[in-house]
Structure 1
Amino acid sequence: MPWFVWVLTAAALGVAEFLTLTVVFGLLAGAALVAAVVAGVGIGLLGQLVALGVAAAAGLLIVRPVALRHMAQAPLSREGSDALIGKRAEVMQEVTASRGLIKISGEEWSARALDENLVIPVGAVVDVMGIEGATAVVYPRELLP
């Protein structure tokens, strides 16, 4: 029943991967499953260890760099209110540090100025610097560097 020991090892490594999200434990769990298959076929301990080593090396040297590169990529598009950050808007009602109204992509949003000392007049063009709840935090385009 050596294959069962390899399956238990793979399960323990799978749990460790779930808790750490490092990719390494998941790849080692896969290697342990390869060793379980080799053990199930009837190959001895030396063959099982060689299979474990080859599968682990292949995973760590080939699969891990690809997975890390994929995980490091930024999402291709932003969704919801996050998609409004960086957009231009027009001031519909004077914007101060505490209140105001802007029009972004045809929609009216409550707004406040990023700088507490700014008063942005009606008709000014602003950039959306952030979203706090249902309020856009804006800054005038002409003051941007």
Structure 2
Amino acid sequence: MDVKNISYPPKILLAWGEAISGNAAIRDWLIQNGYPELGIFTFALRNKDDAREWLMKNGFPHLMALINGAEGNSVALEWLNRFGYPVLEMMARVGDGDERAYQWLLEKDYREFAMIAKKIEFVKDQIEMDNNDPHRISPD
């Protein structure tokens, strides 16, 4: 499998963060303007199986490992580390609530990634709260 590069200009990282936060217009813009993996990531983050499959089949296993790591999957964290994705590993750890990883990102001047990781953490925490709420019925 050909693993795609994930180097993006700052404005695209900002857009990705907004898409993660739920901005559908920006998500759609990313998908239609050369960054489909970032738009589809937002669906995969929200447990959409077809989006998760798309990331894996289209050369973005590292983005899927970021999601899995944010869900507490230690194998995904080890994979990110072993294959040279320390920033994604730290983002995943932040997504799973690790404040030391957040501080690491800030100290290494990965501010955009720290912001995105906090947005991932918020989405994952919201999903968990919704899943644990006995008064809520999952739309899926």
TM-score (normalizing by structure 1): 0.24
Between 1 and 2, higher relative CO (CA 8 Å, sep ≥ 6) is seen in 2
Bigger CA radius of gyration: 1
Which has more helix, going by share of residues? Answer: 2
TM-score (normalizing by structure 2): 0.24
Which has more strand, going by share of residues? Answer: 1
